[in-house]
Amino acid sequence: MKFFADTAEIAEIRELAATGLLDGVTTNPSLIAKAGRNFIEAVREICELVEGPVSAEVAATDEETMLAEARKLAAIAENVAIKVPLTWAGLKTCRTLSQDGIMVNVTLCFSANQALLAAKAGAAFVSPFVGRMDDVGEDGMALIRDIRTIFDNYPDLGTEVLAASIRHPRHITEAALAGADVATVPPSVLKQIVNHPLTDKGLAQFLADWKKTGQSIL
């Protein structure tokens, strides 16, 4: 499973990119507002740090303006993926852009039928929001499993399932088990998954035993 960082904070992206474990980045208007950055400049800088897809979201809701915004964003770098909402206008925009060879991430997906429409419109990624589903008492991971099953039934659909609205490490495990192609994760959650108390305990024991030997490798 690929890991995308869900952030617009340049320092966080730079740190994660240096590990070689980061496959892409997703941004949205809320993350841009939180970062307090100029949108175009932030996307350009992120694209320079990350080789994989960088999702940049249009702000318009009508097809004509979406397309104009999308083309401006796509011109920033070759690895920009245009993010559009799962609306009729968004799907039509997705179709046009995908036919022109531009990656599209269809976001705000909350049903398997919506995901199927996005795939048929040519989306490179569809983003089911598992955390927000859980918030309203529905099973976000069941949605991932349903979409995975449908897409596997039709191999000609090339759309990747991007598990979004990830809230905690268990979500990452469950998304991988459900067959998500990508998890887009806040940097704080991505860093949590390296930690385990038994790892810390084992390392402390090894270091203590090594000290007793009185040896040095260097």
Phi and psi (nearest 5°) for 55? -80, 125
The Cα–Cα gap between 47 and 73 comes to 11
- Residue 92 annotated as catalytic: no
How many other CB atoms are there within 10 angstroms of residue 30's CB atom?
10
Beta-strand (E) ranges in the chain?
Answer: 2-6, 24-26, 54-57, 80-85, 104-109, 125-128, 160-163, 182-185
The Cα–Cα gap between 124 and 139 comes to 24
Q: Which of 201, 193, 200, 196 is nearest to 167 (CA)?
A: 193
The Cα–Cα gap between 12 and 49 comes to 11
Please give the span between the terminal C-alpha atoms of the chain, in angstroms, as a whole number.
38
How many other CB atoms are there within 10 angstroms of residue 168's CB atom?
15
Active-site entry in 2, 34, 72, 83: 83
Q: Find the Cα–Cα–Cα–Cα dihedral 157, 160, 161, 167, rounded to 10°.
A: -170
Active-site positions?
83
